[in-house]
A and B are shown apart, each in its own frame.
Chain A
């Protein structure tokens, strides 16, 4: 999307109610309201247009740590202990979610407690104390995540992190939100203060407010956030990942009990456009997240029992192992088409990779059939009803709509409407236009990396044996999968020890 169009869409963007208030007013275009009279709670989501793409070189992780220094640390009025003490009886809290492009400070309270809650929430944003001891505590948590948890405790998340870092290397998306070990260690309170001054300005946020609030609260919120300094941060250019030639494989060599695989390539298509919804149908059929209707799931798990699940995506889905339904406020201007193969026995890694790529090739070459198309769009039309059931999540979707410039009805309504409008031809045309199988980035977490590299480069057959009998149709198909040509070139395979990851 070019800048002018993006700007126009932003001006026309979706708003449910707009109110003009006070002398230090916040532009109404920067307010999203979801009033719900019967809701006994009030939900806040304040979106600051900053994320890891704004991390200065050598300070990767700064956006995320700065956000945590607002919500998980002292304010000028209260020490962190006092903040926790005061929030405790309210059964309420607030937190920061910082992703590549967005940082959202969110919180929810029962209406009865709004008077006690609101001053704490607004103080966190306006008057952070930035104390050294809080910074040390937060840095230690981030370093534990980078040095230990991500490298060793979840090979699935590790695989995705490697894939995204590889695809976006050299761009502002080229590091994970948590940053790098050396950079995190180097972050000082001065870095935090500078970053806060630059990005937490009155010109750089959108208010999201929902539930059973009244107009006084909105008025106060606008007035209070209007006290932030002025300043429009310089826009970060949309990342342009370098072209991928052939199948590029990064093998992370570690003592892995099973092999996790993530693969994909950049796609230049975003939510809100017709082609996106067409691809959403194809993606759902190929690999609906955590759903046994996924075709990859049927081939790899259901028929062959190789793993726990196999899915496909056209939008980033962090922590997919933990959540059933898609996340909100993780928007990006540049997305990947992605396939996630959950850990398979090491001896079947080559076979599983071939099986997945073969299915993708079949889809790209032949398209979906009418019955697959009919069934999938029927599924999606109702399935999206489950997205965003709470006020907080609806508010988050409304902010996403602002990010993507989706006006009027919003993404979820548009999603349902498009299920009635799109044709099989639309879907198959979109597949041909946006998807291919020749140029992909692949991340593999496994052991004996060199022997896997050899097998890949030689396109060696990957015979498979099962402990249990399988139907003839499966065995026949296996004969094709075993020799399915991947044509990986030696110079496109990189082996790295896990300890080399996220260092700097």
Chain B
């Protein structure tokens, strides 16, 4: 579920980057981007905020990078270990510093990156730069603490597993991918999560390979002076040695035939159908990809014909929604629906296919496309209201590309999308041989 929620949020944020007619740049804040000699990128965005700063450390490594057999879920587990401290500031001391600042601090892991974020009062900026730079360079923990944390991660797995969506995603990714690491979820395969306590030595190599300045982007937004901030970054991160080793990720070969799967949820739930197509990696210059970002909303959003039919008129489903995520490699473009009556699963599935066929054959009305562009513009402008929202919304772009210039590139491209582009995109991605369908059903009735 977390994956979906994060995915949808970023999609909304991203889609909202679609359009602004009045400026050359869609992004309304001036920003300063610097790269240190060791490869560390820092992006600073001063903005009006009452003495508050958001500080996001984005490691460009996620569950996608878990290439070794039996190590799925490790990027997420490692995120937990990053709170275990250093020789200078052991975990409990780090915690008490964060606590005494009254900072709002946490972290999350996704398929493509890991993000450590903190909101705090501006007078604490130097302290934050100091403790964050320390743990990224000098993390140190004993095997015992490592093993205890593995128990907490398994607890997180158990917490998630009662949600039907967690189970559905696990099955979908496993079935749709053969060799690429998107085959497993960010949480990891259960057997691997269980075996985590044995991975102490591996965890040290994970840190050495991935937690390097040339694999990290720091986003700092809010009440800041960029020059003074940069001086602090140089002071505390300047000695960090570069040395990122890029993992060798096997590309997924093209899918040539439809795949069908089913998964049983031990509790009670209405059935959920998940229809996924092999999509494309984020590329602001790829016309088909950029069009697909709009297509999902046009075909399955709340003003789409299908939404009106299935939810409002026939009332056969609890929801229907499309998801077109942005990823480093080829992700799944998905359509989900929770169906009220098990006997209607095939009907709903066929309605989704019929909708996609329509988009392949008939250009969408110009007005609908323009409405979506207007929606994107205002959604974007309304979403940039706090330092945390700005940094949080930019994190994925920074993670995928190492910078945020991609936003303007995408924006300019989205402006040019025509109804015919949408047709071409539908034909490119939503083909039956690239499709995987999984139906989840509850065991209890």
Contact = CB atoms under 8 A, between A and B. Distances in A.
A182 B415 CA distance: 51
A306 B151 contact: yes
Interface in A377-418: 378-386, 389-391
Max count, chain B CB within 10 A of own CB: residue among A256, A290, A385, A470 = A385
Contact of B148 (A92, A255, A345, A468): A468
A307 B155 contact: yes
B104 A258 contact: no
Interface in A252-300: 254-258, 290-293
A321 B156 CA distance: 11
Contact of A324 (B106, B148, B381): B106
Nearest to A80: B312
Nearest to A151: B268
B135 to A, nearest CB: 14
B315 A110 contact: no
Interface stretch (B225-233, B248-256, B369-377): B369-377
A503 to B, nearest CB: 14
A155 B162 contact: yes
Contacts of B267: 148, 151-153, 254-255
Interface stretch (B61-69, B92-100, B204-212, B352-360): B92-100
A342 B152 CA distance: 11
Nearest to B388: A389
B302 interface: yes
A81 B52 contact: no
Contacts of A302: 148, 152
A378 B100 contact: yes
A380 B102 contact: yes
B386 interface: yes
A258 to B, nearest CB: 4
B161 A382 contact: no
B394 interface: no
B30 interface: no
Contact of B158 (A91, A133, A258, A379): A258
Interface stretch (A136-144, A240-248, A451-459): A136-144
A375 interface: yes
Given A81-B312, A148-B442, A389-B386, A305 B151 contact: yes
Given A301-B152, A468-B197, A255 B266 contact: yes
A342 B312 CA distance: 37
Interface residues of B, number: 68
Contacts of A256: 162
Interface size class on chain A is 35 or more
A147 B268 contact: yes
Interface string B155-180: 11011011110000000000000000
Max count, chain B CB within 10 A of own CB: residue among A88, A89, A301, A308 = A89
B382 interface: yes
Max count, chain B CB within 10 A of own CB: residue among A41, A301, A304, A305 = A305
Given A148-B270, A467-B147, A385 B102 contact: yes
A358 B150 CA distance: 25
Nearest to A90: B378
A214 interface: no
Contact of A382 (B120, B144, B159, B197): B120
Interface string B25-48: 000000000000000000000001
Given A84-B302, A84-B303, A290 B106 contact: yes
A141 B385 CA distance: 32
A394 to B, nearest CB: 11
Given A88-B375, A154-B163, A342-B159, A81 B104 contact: no
B101 interface: yes
Contacts of B99: 291, 293, 375-376, 378-379
A110 B104 contact: no
Nearest to A471: B144
A179 interface: no
A152 B302 contact: no
A312 B389 CA distance: 27
A113 B371 contact: no
B279 to A, nearest CB: 24
A308 B156 contact: yes
Contacts of A155: 162
B318 interface: yes
A109 B374 CA distance: 13
A308 to B, nearest CB: 5
A151 B270 CA distance: 13
Interface string B93-122: 001101111111010000000000001110
A285 to B, nearest CB: 10
B303 A137 contact: no
A112 B378 contact: yes
Given A258-B159, A304-B151, A378-B102, A92 B378 contact: yes
B340 interface: yes
B371 A89 contact: yes
Interface string B417-445: 00000000000000000000000001010
A343 B382 contact: no
Max count, chain B CB within 10 A of own CB: residue among A302, A324, A466 = A302
A84 B301 CA distance: 10
A344 interface: yes
A40 interface: yes
A22 interface: no
A391 B386 CA distance: 10
B162 A342 contact: no
B164 A153 contact: yes
Given A40-B381, A110-B378, A152-B162, A292 B303 contact: no
Contacts of A92: 378, 382
B101 A152 contact: no
A343 B159 contact: yes
A391 B265 CA distance: 41
Contacts of A148: 267-270, 442
A359 B128 CA distance: 31
B308 interface: yes
A80 B303 CA distance: 10
Contact of B315 (A137, A380, A386): A137
Contacts of B48: 38
Contacts of A293: 95-96, 98-99
B79 interface: no
A-B interface, 6 closest residue pairs, ranked by CB to CB distance from nearest: A382-B102, A305-B151, A152-B267, A468-B147, A91-B379, A91-B378
19 contacts: A41-B385, A81-B303, A84-B303, A137-B311, A148-B267, A254-B267, A258-B158, A292-B83, A301-B155, A303-B148, A305-B150, A306-B151, A306-B152, A306-B155, A308-B155, A345-B158, A380-B102, A389-B386, A471-B144
Interface of A: 38-41, 80-81, 84-85, 88-92, 108, 110, 112-113, 133, 136-137, 140-141, 144, 147-149, 151-156, 254-258, 290-293, 301-308, 321, 324-325, 342-345, 375-376, 378-386, 389-391, 466-471
Given A386-B102, A468-B148, 18 more contacts: A38-B48, A40-B382, A88-B375, A91-B16, A91-B375, A92-B378, A108-B382, A133-B312, A152-B265, A153-B163, A153-B269, A292-B83, A303-B148, A379-B100, A382-B101, A382-B103, A466-B151, A469-B144
